[in-house]
Amino acid sequence: MPSAPGELDRPPPRHVAIIMDGNGRWASARHMPRIMGHRAGVAAVRNVVRAAGDIGLEYLTLYSFSSENWKRPRTEINDLMGLLRFYLRDDLEELHRNGVQIRVIGAKSQLEGDIVDLIEHAQKRTQDNTKLKLIVAFNYGGQDEIVEAARRIAEDAAAGKIAPADVTRDLFASYLATAGIPDPEIVIRTSGEQRLSNFLIWQSAYSEFVFTDTLWPDFGRAELIAAIREFQGRDRRFGGLTPAAGGRT
């Protein structure tokens, strides 16, 4: 029997990553200031995190602020920092009650001290939760992450802790900010744009991509399930062939 609308026919992937895009366009279409779009985007985060827990995702990564976003006007940056403070303060206990473990990846050096304290408190408060691992990529850039991992490997090699021959893909991955987190099976980007924008470059090597025209503030449970269904209908071969593929290349 077909599943009802809003349900999945099969178990979901373990890890879904989302590039949350379109807050500004959502606000502009409604003749509102951009901050209103970002506020609506926070509401969408709440809805999607709840939905992810409901449908049984193990990992959900959200790209909330890239290392390139510092180029935006200072007023918008301040608004975004304020919304991060708001989310970590006001939503933490609900996330904790719902078994969500929070992990924030990205450079902390440019963040104000109180934000770093809020991040550390949220991570410590939820560290033993196991229902859903929520990874927030904030002040994050994939290229910077790879360079930082290479730098740390070089330092350890120079210190004699590892030999050049020890450097494998698995060892390299253990130096990334996402160490211990499985690579995402699916990367979703909202708003119609079709690029990674420096997000999880290493980790998404074999991810499936789903691009949707839906702006992030309008993205919710139904859109998440639709994206997962699209993913589940694809033939993932990882460079090989499946039995049904015959001689296809």
Residues 179-182: contacts with CB under 8 Å, at least 24 apart: 181/15, 181/59, 181/61, 181/103, 181/133, 181/135, 182/14, 182/15, 182/58, 182/59
Rounded Cα distance, 199 and 214, in Å:
19
Reference 21, options 248, 193, 165; nearest CA is 193
Closest CA to 139 of 111, 175, 116, 118: 111
Among the listed residues 66, 18, 23, the one whose alpha carbon sits nearest the alpha carbon of residue 231: 18
Angle at 238 between CA 233 and CA 239, to 5 degrees: 120
- Can you tell me the distance from the alpha carbon of 141 to that of 185, in angstroms, rounded to the nearest whole number? 19
Question: Which has the closest alpha carbon to 115: 129, 146, 136?
Answer: 136
Would residue 21 show up in a list of annotated catalytic residues for this protein?
A: yes
Nearest residue to 122 via CA among 80, 88, 83: 88
Residue 2's CB: how many other CB atoms inside 10 A? 6
**Residues 232, 144: Cα–Cα separation, whole Å:** 31
Q: How far apart are CA 94 and CA 50, in angstroms?
A: 10
Between CA 191 and CA 25 the distance in angstroms is: 8
Which member of 47, 54, 69, 98 is catalytic?
Answer: 69
Catalytic residue (choose from 21, 23, 139, 183): 21
Q: Cite the active site residues.
A: 21, 69
